[in-house]
Structure formats: C-alpha cells, structure tokens
C-alpha cells in the first residue's frame, strides 16, 4: 500500500510517499481503507519533535511510529475474528495518537479504541476532522465544568481546537465571546459565537468585561495578561505550555490558593468521546471547519501550510 513514512524527526520534507506492506488486523482489530485523513498540529508536533518532551512518547532518537496521521475516515475492509461491533463495509471514523498510521491507504484499530461508525450526514472528507480539535476542546471544556449561562472567551476561534470549542461551549449552554481576525468574523458567528472580537482591532485582554473562563485555543496569551478579565473564581486555559512552561507550573499551584486559577488538562479520548462527537454532528450541534484539501501525494505542502499557524479549522488529506 502507499504510505507516508518518516524515519527521522525534522521539517515537512522528512516525510516520503513509499510502498509498504498492508497491515494485518489482529483478532480484536479492524482494517480500515482510509478515504480521508488530516494533517494537524499533533502530526506536526510529533514529526518535528520541536518539544523534546514529545520524544518520550514517540522515540528518543527517531520516531517509533513511521507513519503519522491520527484522524481518519474510511471503510472497513476486514474484521478480526473476535470483532463483534463492526462489519465489512461499515463507514467509520476515529482517532489514534498512540499508534498513528492514518497517513496511509490502510490503518488498523482495535474495536474498543476511539472508532465508531460515521455520522450519516457527512462525507469521508467531512468526517475525518471531527476528532483532533474536537477532543482537545472537549477535554478543556469538561475540565472547566462549563455550565449553562457561564461566560467563556475563546481566543483563536478559527483553529481546529478553537472552532470546535466555540461549537461545544455553545452546546453546553455558555455565552461565547470568540476572538479571530477580520476575514473570519462571519464564519465564527456562524459557529454560534454570541460576540466576536476582531483581534486586529481590539486587544481582548484589555476588555472591561469579565469571564468565567478564558480559553486560549491558540496559546498566544498568558494567565498574567488574562487575569484582569477573569471573575474572582475564573479559569484560564491555554493550548500552549507558555513561557518557560509556566502553564504547567501554574496549573499545579494556582488551584491551591483559591481564586483565579489555571487548568492544563492532559487530553484523553476514548470510544465514548468519539460517539459523543458523532451524535453532536448528527444533531447539527458540531461540524468541523475545513480549510484546504490536499491529495496524499502533496502531504509536504499540507504540512507547510499547517505550520503557518494560519489555517482556518482543519486541513484534509484525500486518498483515492
Ligand atoms: N504540540 C502538539 O502536539 C499540539 C497538538 C495540537 C495543538 N497544539 C497547539 O494548539 C494550538 C491550536 O492548534 P489548532 O490546530 O487548533 O490551530 P492552528 O493551526 O494553530 O490555527 C490557529 C488559528 O488561530 C488563528 N490565530 C493566529 N494568531 C492569532 C492570534 N494572535 N489571535 C487569535 N487568533 C489567532 C489563526 O487565524 P488567522 O491566521 O486568521 O489569525 C488560525 O485560524 C496551537 O498553538 C498548537 O501548537 C499543539
């Protein structure tokens, strides 16, 4: 099968399109013919190993998993003999950031992992980007215990995480103020934001209004900058570690003192989360935003675009 291989860490050019053996599903696994996948910031982080800490998971010297790709949508081609919940021909989507492998024509998944049947109302290309930004946003929103009527500010509302966070925060009943640039104001309103701040015209950290939660989904601010716009018991969350990894330190210390605090939840995903996101999609409460599509052969270009930090939502890779 065709697969994207990287045998070393580095810039986008380290990934190569190659012919490799098709994986064989174990007894508890399904073999999925991948029709669409994504290049996202998680792939970029693991490919570049820019943060050295990621090497403790992905291999100290060189990558353990030679094919990246954590999101996929496709069709089940083979089921292992112990699989009971899927059958050949099922259209499925899911997420795997322990084994990766979706930048290829075929990927295997255990039936109890983060995989489920596709929402009936989406194509493969629309279903592939449901989970990456969606589960990061869900983890943060759950950690902050967002309740109906609470006020949340989401910075970077046009990233994969931010655009999912706006929709999920609305689903959980929050009043959402979203920050994006001029060209995306209408898009972000269409995702459900109650108020949209254009960051090219206004600095959200200088607003007079206060919020229960500030979620910086693009990691451009700090707790110190955002403290004035948090209520007394307000919560600050960011997708980045911050200067000198301060967000980790603050997440360990600020909850001890009461008052304003930082949360930095470790993202997790399981089958229930994927099913939850699928149901939101089916009920028109969540739809991943798609920016560009690239064929598998142009994945290096896709990586380069994702690493501009300016994609709107998700970048999809198509396989024929
Ligand atoms: N290391 C990892 O494994 C990993 C995994 C996932 C995510 N992350 C981090 O999570 C963050 C978000 O990732 P993502 O995929 O959701 O989004 P992304 O690709 O980083 O996109 C960021 C979005 O934020 C907007 N943006 C850029 N600068 C901004 C600013 N100053 N204020 C407000 N918006 C701004 C961009 O829109 P405009 O260009 O229109 O402004 C773009 O739509 C990133 O910081 C990423 O590094 C890291």
Question: How many other CB atoms are there within 10 angstroms of residue 320's CB atom?
Answer: 7
Confidence of residue 193 (pLDDT cuts 50, 70, 90): very high
Q: pLDDT for 222-233, tens place per residue?
A: 999 999 999 999
Mean pLDDT confidence for 18-41: 98
Would you say the CB of residue 267 lies under 6 angstroms from ligand 1? no
Q: pLDDT for 112-164, tens place per residue?
A: 999 999 999 899 999 999 999 999 999 999 999 999 999 999 999 999 999 99
In this predicted structure, the answer to whether residue 198 has a pLDDT above a threshold of 90 is yes
> Which pLDDT value is given to residue 320?
81
Q: Among 162, 166, 206, 201, which Cα is nearest to 311's?
A: 162
**Residue 21 · residue 74 · CB < 8 Å:** no
Cα separation, 215 vs 236, in Å, equals 6
How far, in Å, from the CA of 301 to the mean position of ligand 1? 18
Confidence of residue 109 (pLDDT cuts 50, 70, 90): very high
How far, in Å, from the CA of 148 to the mean position of ligand 1? 26
Residue found under tokens 């995702």: 191
Q: What is the DSSP string of 188-251?
A: HHHTT-SEEEETTT--GGG-S--EEEEEETT--S-HHHHGGGEEEEEEEEESS--GGGHHHHHH
> Which pLDDT value is given to residue 51?
85
> Which pLDDT value is given to residue 54?
86
Residue nearest to atom 25 of ligand 1 (CA): 156
Phi, psi of 151 (to 5 degrees): -100, 125
Mean pLDDT confidence for 39-60: 93
Q: pLDDT for 74-89, tens place per residue?
A: 999 999 999 999 999 9
In this predicted structure, the answer to whether residue 53 has a pLDDT above a threshold of 90 is no
In this predicted structure, the answer to whether residue 179 has a pLDDT above a threshold of 90 is yes
- Tell which atom from ligand 1 comes closest to the C-alpha of 306: 19
- Indicate the top mutation candidate among 55, 100, 159, 266 to test ligand 1's pocket, ranked by most ligand atoms within 8 A of CB: 159
> Which pLDDT value is given to residue 7?
96
> Which pLDDT value is given to residue 107?
98
Cα separation, 287 vs 134, in Å, equals 9
Q: Within its chain, how far is the Cα of 307 from the centroid? A: 15
- Indicate the top mutation candidate among 218, 303, 314 to test ligand 1's pocket, ranked by most ligand atoms within 8 A of CB: 218
Contact residues for 37 (Cβ-Cβ < 8 A; gap 6+): 69, 71, 72, 73, 102, 103, 128, 316, 317, 319
Counting Cβ atoms within 10 Å, is residue 310 exposed (0-12), middle (13-18) or buried (19+)?
exposed
- Indicate the top mutation candidate among 186, 309, 316 to test ligand 1's pocket, ranked by most ligand atoms within 8 A of CB: 309
Give the H or E element holding residue 58. helix 55-58
Rg of the chain's alpha carbons, rounded to an integer? Answer: 20
Q: Which of 55-59, 69-73, 75-79 has the lowest mean pLDDT?
A: 55-59
Q: Give ∠ CA 6-27-278 in degrees, rounded to 5.
A: 70
């Amino acid at each position: 099968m065709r697969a994207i291989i990287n045998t070393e860490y580095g810039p986008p050019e380290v990934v190569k399109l190659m012919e490799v053996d098709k994986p064989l599903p174990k007894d508890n696994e399904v073999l999925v013919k991948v029709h669409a996948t994504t290049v996202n910031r998680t792939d970029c982080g693991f490919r570049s190993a820019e943060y050295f800490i990621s090497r403790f998971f992905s291999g100290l010297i060189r990558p353990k998993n030679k094919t990246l790709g954590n999101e996929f949508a496709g069709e089940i081609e083979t089921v292992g003999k112990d699989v009971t919940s899927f059958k050949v021909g099922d259209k499925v989507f899911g997420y795997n950031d322990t084994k990766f492998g979706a930048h290829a024509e075929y990927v295997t998944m255990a039936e109890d992992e983060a995989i489920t049947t596709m929402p009936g109302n989406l194509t493969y290309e629309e279903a592939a980007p449901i989970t990456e930004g969606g589960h990061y946003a869900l983890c943060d929103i759950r950690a902050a215990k967002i309740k109906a009527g609470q006020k949340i500010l989401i910075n970077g509302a046009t990233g994969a995480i931010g655009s999912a966070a706006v929709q999920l925060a609305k689903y959980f009943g929050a009043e959402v103020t979203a920050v994006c640039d001029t060209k995306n104001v209408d898009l972000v309103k269409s995702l459900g934001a109650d108020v949209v701040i254009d960051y090219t015209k206004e600095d959200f950290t200088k607003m007079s209004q206060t919020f229960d939660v500030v979620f910086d989904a693009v990691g451009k601010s700090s707790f110190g900058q955002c403290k004035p716009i948090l209520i007394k018991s307000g919560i600050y969350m960011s997708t980045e570690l911050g200067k000198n990894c301060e967000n980790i330190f603050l997440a360990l210390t600020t909850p001890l003192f009461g008052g304003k605090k930082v949360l930095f939840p470790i993202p997790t995903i399981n089958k229930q989360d994927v099913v939850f996101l699928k149901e939101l999609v089916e009920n028109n409460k969540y739809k991943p935003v798609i920016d560009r599509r690239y064929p598998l052969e142009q994945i290096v270009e896709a990586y380069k675009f994702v690493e501009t930090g300016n994609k709107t939502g998700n970048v999809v890779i198509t396989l024929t």
